[in-house]
């Protein structure tokens, strides 16, 4: 057994013990482990496991740790590399600040900020709920009170909080209180989480500007709430747009088409009003 295979088997053993692993996944992982321990050819066993897991991967129904295992089985080791969260826990410099935004699935909220000048780091995670260290499965159930969100660490010398707010409003449907686009439920509701009085004042001013813009016929329902603990999401969800490029482009494409139509209608509405 080579080093790569040993690492996969180590992760399989850990995933079997992980409470978040589904029964279906665990059955296949246990079978693979038993087959290897029973003397079957490792490469053949892992190929079989990859085939067993592929249908769930295509539907994005694998739990995070098993998704990482599948990435390794599929030859995409980069997607399975553990994401470095040390920057999330580090103290910010005097010229740095953080913003926390929720706007539906966090997969589509990372890239627009991450690729902007002045952004130090962007993390996918959960916030606003009442359970410590929540998992994706717990948050998805809608019973923890959390929403999927992104935490953005930015250099205030390069980009301002107001700049990030302006971008945020371009990424969400501010008239949809119980989800965003195809993602439905309270865990996908749009929220601006403010960390201090200055951020709250800026968020409220931006809300008023959107409300007065005439772009939307329906009420603006984005919530502005005090920030609470931000819990980073599992490795699989971090930098999803880099690790799962094809799937991200498909999801983001649908989102952009819906937003493009809404923005076009809004511009026409404003034009008609001014005539």
Task: Judge if pTM exceeds 0.85.
Answer: no
35-79 pLDDT tens trace: 999 999 999 999 999 999 999 888 767 887 898 899 899 887 766
Tokens 């159930």 — which residue?
Answer: 141
Query: Residue 172 pLDDT more than 90?
Result: yes
Instruction: Clarify whether 108 is annotated catalytic.
Output: no
**148-161 per-position pLDDT tens digit:** 999 999 999 999 99
Percent of the chain, pLDDT > 70? 99
> Dmax of the chain from CA atoms?
79
Averaged pLDDT score across all residues of the chain: 93
Rounding to the nearest 10 degrees, give the CA dihedral for residues 47, 51, 53, 58: 130
Q: What is the pLDDT of residue 272?
A: 83
The pLDDT value recorded for residue 199 is: 98
Q: In whole angstroms, what separates CA 61 from the centre of its chain? A: 15
User: Using CA atoms, how far apart are residues 248 and 110, in angstroms rounded to an integer?
Assistant: 11
Given 100, 105, 121, 165, the catalytic residue: 105
């Amino acid at each position: 057994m080579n080093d790569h295979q040993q690492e996969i088997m180590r992760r399989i053993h850990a995933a079997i013990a992980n409470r978040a692993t589904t029964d279906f996944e665990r059955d296949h992982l246990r079978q693979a482990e038993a087959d290897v321990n029973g003397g079957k050819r490792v490469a053949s066993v892992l190929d079989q496991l990859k085939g067993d897991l592929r249908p769930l991967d295509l539907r994005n129904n694998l739990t995070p740790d098993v998704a990482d295992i599948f990435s390794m089985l599929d030859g995409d080791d980069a997607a399975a590399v553990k994401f470095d969260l040390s920057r999330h826990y580090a103290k910010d410099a005097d010229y740095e600040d953080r913003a926390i935004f929720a706007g539906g699935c966090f997969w589509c909220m990372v890239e627009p900020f991450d690729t902007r000048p002045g952004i130090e780091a962007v993390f996918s995670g959960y916030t606003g709920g009442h359970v410590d260290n929540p998992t994706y499965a717990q948050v998805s159930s809608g019973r923890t009170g959390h929403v999927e969100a992104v935490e953005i660490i930015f250099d205030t010398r390069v980009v301002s909080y107001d700049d990030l707010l302006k971008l945020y409003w371009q990424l969400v449907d501010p008239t949809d209180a119980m989800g965003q686009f195809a993602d439905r439920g309270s865990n996908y509701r749009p929220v601006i989480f403010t960390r201090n009085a200055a951020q709250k004042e800026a968020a409220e001013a931006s809300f008023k500007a959107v409300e007065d813009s005439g772009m939307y016929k329906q009420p603006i329902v984005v919530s502005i709430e005090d920030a609470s603990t931000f819990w980073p999401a599992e490795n699989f969800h971090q930098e999803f747009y880099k690790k799962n490029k094809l799937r991200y482009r498909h999801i983001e494409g649908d989102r952009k088409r819906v937003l493009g139509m809404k923005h076009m209608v809004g511009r026409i509405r404003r034009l008609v009003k001014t005539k």
